[in-house]
Amino acid sequence: MMEYLPVEVIGNILSRLGAARDVVIASSTCRKWREAWRNHLHTLTFNSNDWPVYHELTRSRLEIIITQTIFQTNGLQCLSIILDDVDEFSAAPVIAWLMYTRETLRQLHYNVRTTPNINILEKCGRQRLEVLALAHNTITGVEPSYQKFPCLRSLSLSYVSISALDLSLFLTACTKVEVLNLVSLDIVMSDPQATMELSSNSLKDIYVEAISLDKIILEADSLEKLHLKDCTLEVFELVSKGKLRLLKIDDVSVIHLDIGESAENLEIVDVSNFTIMWSKFHHMIAKSSKLRRLRLWGVVFDDDDEVVDIETISACFPQLSHLSLSYELKETALQYGLQDSFRLENVVVLELGWTVISDLFSHWVAGLLERCPNLRKLVIYGVVSETKTHEECHTLANFTSFIVRLMRKYADVDVQFEYE
């Protein structure tokens, strides 16, 4: 049956294989498959995880293999060169690969340095590129008037050295970019105050990881998703027109966080390993009447007397269906956090966690269960230390017995435990 397949279909089959070695082996089957490789292959991947032999080849041998493979194709649309063991390639073959494929290429994933450094933006600009993922490269001298990326929708920069100004200019050159990922950038600053200003009318999704700066100002009217992870910042300001749907903050140190008027359409707020001033944080998201998921996990309060006011959460977020809470419990959490007879009518999934197990946690679980009349699922997360004292074992045993008795009252609720 295979011999009756059109060459275009064979090209699609080879493209789904992706890995260059598999494509080469498969295309050697017969003349028709070789023709499909030459004229109808649109995806080619050189990844050190696909073939262990890549780790053993010299740089020059790898350059020859990649060159021979690419130059036997016409119309390549997606090219991935992700070779972690290679320190650097010579500039000449890399320029040849980019120049040969530039008119048809839609996606480029490239993570190897070159000697000397080449301006990849210059080679790929003003073409049809829709996805660009660069790692371990240096970007300098961005000229947005010349290096335009009219079709680019997704841009990822990892371990890239770039100045704050060049990054801003680069984003300006990408007039249709919707997704931006910035990971472990080496930000070159021209002035003593490390401020980065980014502006985009099209940007919908931004992920920033492992970046340390004094100040980031992001102007993005269409932004829907904002995720900050493992960053150290003094100031983060978002200027937007209120389309933000997801706010995720994970292990971030920031003195001043401002999302402006962007909270009205928030549906998901996920905050973990973060020091918050609850009253200030709540004020920032208080207008999020569409909020469906709220996660405050491993948060630390800036003020020792602060508690998360569950009644206020109930009043401000009537559509809340998933609630996840884990922080150091104190007596005030029960006295003030659960003092009134409010109800979380729409909460169907409740996740609660401890870092240090205590009897207080049992009462907190019971108090929250009582206020979630339509709950379907309860997940308890806990940390169990390797060296357990008799007192710790006794507390854990008491908690287990308490939950067993409690859940007889809530027979319709699915209960799960996740311990680490």
pLDDT of residue 1 exceeding 60: no
Helices (H), 331-389: 331-335, 359-370
Say which residue, 305 or 167, is predicted with more confidence: 167
Residue-wise pLDDT for 119-142, tens only, equals 888 888 888 999 999 999 999 989
Residue-wise pLDDT for 74-104, tens only, equals 999 999 999 887 889 999 999 999 999 999 9
Reported as type and span, the H/E element at residue 20 is helix 20-27
Q: Cα–Cα distance between 180 and 401 in angstroms, integer?
A: 49
Q: 278 pLDDT band (50/70/90 cuts)?
A: confident
Q: Which of 147, 154, 139 minimizes the C-alpha distance to 185?
A: 139
Domain boundaries, the chain: 278-419
Give residue 333's pLDDT: 61
Contact between 247 and 270 (Cβ < 8 Å): yes
pLDDT, average across residues 258-271: 92
Q: Cα–Cα distance between 288 and 69 in angstroms, integer?
A: 53
Say which residue, 344 or 23, is predicted with more confidence: 344
Q: Please give the structure tokens belonging to residue 2.
A: 């295979």
Helices (H), 235-322: 278-285, 310-316
Give residue 145's pLDDT: 82
The length of the chain, given as a count of residues: 420
Give the CA distances from residue 100 to residues 17, 31, 42, 76, 78, in Å, rounded to whole numbers and listed in that order.
22, 24, 14, 9, 13
Say which residue, 243 or 304, is predicted with more confidence: 243
Give the CA distances from residue 152 to residues 72, 123, 144, 202, 224, in Å, rounded to whole numbers and listed in that order.
26, 14, 13, 11, 18
Within 8 A by CB and 6+ apart from 7, the residues are 32, 35, 36, 39, 40
pLDDT of residue 337 exceeding 70: no
Q: 268 pLDDT band (50/70/90 cuts)?
A: very high
Q: In terms of pTM, does the model score above 0.95?
A: no
Q: Cα–Cα distance between 174 and 127 in angstroms, integer?
A: 12
Give residue 87's pLDDT: 83
